[in-house]
C-alpha cells in the first residue's frame, strides 16, 4: 500500500475508534456526560506527557509566580475543561438551533449591532477557548448569515464530520489556504465571518504581545478588515459554572489602516499595532477563563 493511502487508512481507523469511544457516552444526560468527559480528560492527560509538559512550560512563561504543584493541578484542570467542552462538540449532531439557544447565552449582542455597517459584514475574531465550535451556530440562531474560515483537517473523515455539521445550518466554510473570492463574497453579502487567530500557524504573521509575551500572530484577519472596510469584534465562548455556555461579544476593535501610499515600514508598523490590539482583546477574556484555553498548544515557540 502506498504511503499516502496507508496514512489515510490509519487516520480513518483512528476516527472510527474515537467515534466508538466518544459517541456512546455523549448520549448520557448532560450533567452525567460532562462529569464523565471531564474525568476522561484528566485520565488522558496522565497518559500524554508531551501535552502535559507543554502546558507546564507555557504557564512558566505567563504565570512565573506559580509553584510547580500549581502548574500540575492547572494542567489537569485544563484537560478536564477541554474534554468537557468536547462533550458538547460531539453532541452537535443532536442539537437543534433552539437547543443551542437554550444552552448558550449571548452577552454583548448590542455591541455587534453597533459595529455593523451597510453593505459589508463583520470580521468576528475568536480563539480556541471554551466550546468555540458552538459560536457560529449560536449566531446563526439569531438570524445572521454566518461563515467561518478554517484550516482543512488532515484527517479527511474528521474534516467531513465538522463541515457537515456546519452545512446542516447553512454556515458557509472557507478554507484558510483556499480561494479568497468566496470569503470576500460572504463579507459583501453581510455575513459574520469567524476567524481564530490565537495560535502559531504557517500563515502571514507579525510579532505582537499575546498574554503579555511576544508571539507570532496571524495577520490575515486585520488585512481582511482593512481590505473590505468590515468592522471587527471579538466573539468568544466560555463554559459557565452551571454547565451552560456563554458567547461574549466585545466592543469593536479600532483598526486604522495605513494611509494610501504608505511605506512598507509604515504598513508593517500599523499591522503590528492592529494585531496587538486584537491580541489584547482576546487575551483579556482568555485570562478570565484561562482554564478553558488550549494551553497544550506551543504558542510561544521562539
Is the pLDDT at 26 greater than 80, yes or no? no
In a domain, residue 302? The reply is no
What's residue 1's pLDDT?
Answer: 45
Q: Do 139 and 191 sit in the same domain of this protein?
A: yes
The domain boundary residue, chosen from 48, 71, 92: 92
Quick one: DSSP state of residue 245? E
In a domain, residue 301? The reply is no
Q: Do 275 and 151 sit in the same domain of this protein?
A: yes
In a domain, residue 171? The reply is yes
The domain boundary residue, chosen from 71, 92, 113: 92
Q: Do 111 and 238 sit in the same domain of this protein?
A: yes
Q: Do 287 and 262 sit in the same domain of this protein?
A: yes
Average pLDDT over residues 118-125: 96
The domain boundary residue, chosen from 92, 127, 149: 92
Contacts of 290 (CB under 8 A, 6+ apart): none
Q: Do 160 and 63 sit in the same domain of this protein?
A: no
Q: Do 196 and 63 sit in the same domain of this protein?
A: no
In a domain, residue 222? The reply is yes
Boundaries of domain holding 113: 95-292
Q: Do 46 and 9 sit in the same domain of this protein?
A: yes
Confidence of residue 3 (pLDDT cuts 50, 70, 90): very low
Angle in degrees, CA 115, 191, 158, rounded to 5? 125
Q: Do 14 and 129 sit in the same domain of this protein?
A: no
Is the pLDDT at 157 greater than 80, yes or no? no
What's residue 255's pLDDT?
Answer: 92
In a domain, residue 218? The reply is yes
Give the number of other Cβ atoms within 10 Å of residue 31's Cβ: 9
Q: Do 31 and 173 sit in the same domain of this protein?
A: no
Q: Which stretch of 18-22, 43-47, 74-78, 259-263 has the lowest confidence by average pLDDT?
A: 18-22
Q: Do 174 and 214 sit in the same domain of this protein?
A: yes
What's residue 95's pLDDT?
Answer: 86
How many whole angstroms separate alpha carbon 291 and alpha carbon 302?
23
Contact, 234 vs 253, CB < 8 A? Answer: yes
* Percentage of residues of the chain with pLDDT beyond 90: 74
Q: How many domains does the chain have?
A: 2
What's residue 9's pLDDT?
Answer: 60
In a domain, residue 299? The reply is no
Q: Do 101 and 233 sit in the same domain of this protein?
A: yes
Query: What three-state secondary structure class fits 120?
Result: strand
In a domain, residue 297? The reply is no
Q: Which stretch of 137-141, 167-171, 276-280, 285-289 has the lowest confidence by average pLDDT?
A: 167-171
Question: What is the chain's Cα-based Rg?
Answer: 20
Quick one: DSSP state of residue 170? T
Contacts of 76 (CB under 8 A, 6+ apart): 42, 45
Q: Do 134 and 227 sit in the same domain of this protein?
A: yes
Q: Where are the alpha helices (DSSP H) in 181-219?
A: 181-188
What's residue 21's pLDDT?
Answer: 62
What's residue 132's pLDDT?
Answer: 96
Phi, psi of 103 (to 5 degrees): -85, -30
pTM for the predicted model, two decimal places: 0.91
Contact, 274 vs 268, CB < 8 A? Answer: no
In a domain, residue 298? The reply is no
Contacts of 142 (CB under 8 A, 6+ apart): 106, 109
pLDDT in tens, 245-269: 999 999 999 998 998 889 999 999 9
Amino acid at each position: 500500500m502506498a504511503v499516502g493511502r496507508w496514512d489515510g487508512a490509519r487516520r480513518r481507523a483512528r476516527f472510527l475508534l474515537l467515534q466508538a469511544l466518544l459517541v456512546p457516552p455523549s448520549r448520557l444526560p448532560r450533567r452525567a456526560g460532562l462529569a464523565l468527559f471531564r474525568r476522561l480528560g484528566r485520565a488522558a492527560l496522565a497518559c500524554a506527557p508531551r501535552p502535559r509538559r507543554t502546558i507546564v512550560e507555557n504557564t512558566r512563561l505567563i504565570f512565573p509566580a506559580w509553584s510547580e504543584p500549581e502548574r500540575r493541578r492547572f494542567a489537569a484542570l485544563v484537560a478536564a475543561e477541554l474534554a468537557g467542552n468536547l462533550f458538547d462538540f460531539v453532541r452537535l449532531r443532536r442539537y437543534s438551533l433552539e437547543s443551542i439557544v437554550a444552552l448558550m447565552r449571548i452577552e454583548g449582542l448590542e455591541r455587534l449591532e453597533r459595529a455593523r455597517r451597510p453593505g459589508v459584514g463583520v470580521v468576528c475574531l475568536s480563539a480556541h477557548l471554551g466550546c468555540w465550535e458552538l459560536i457560529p451556530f449560536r449566531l446563526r440562531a439569531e438570524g445572521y448569515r454566518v461563515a467561518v474560515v478554517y484550516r482543512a483537517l488532515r484527517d479527511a473523515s474528521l474534516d467531513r464530520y465538522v463541515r457537515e455539521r456546519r452545512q446542516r445550518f447553512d454556515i458557509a466554510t472557507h478554507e484558510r489556504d483556499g480561494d479568497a473570492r468566496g470569503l470576500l463574497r460572504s463579507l459583501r453579502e453581510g455575513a459574520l465571518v469567524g476567524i481564530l487567530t490565537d495560535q502559531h500557524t504557517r500563515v502571514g504573521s507579525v510579532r505582537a504581545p499575546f498574554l503579555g509575551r511576544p508571539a507570532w500572530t496571524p495577520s490575515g484577519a486585520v488585512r481582511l478588515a482593512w481590505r473590505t472596510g468590515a468592522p471587527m469584534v471579538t466573539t468568544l465562548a466560555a463554559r459557565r459554572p452551571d454547565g451552560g455556555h456563554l458567547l461574549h461579544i466585545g466592543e469593536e476593535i479600532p483598526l486604522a489602516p495605513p494611509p494610501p501610499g504608505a511605506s512598507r515600514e509604515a504598513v508593517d508598523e500599523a499591522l503590528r499595532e492592529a494585531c496587538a490590539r486584537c491580541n489584547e482583546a482576546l487575551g483579556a477574556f482568555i485570562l478570565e477563563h484561562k482554564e478553558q484555553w488550549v494551553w497544550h498548544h506551543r504558542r510561544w515557540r521562539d
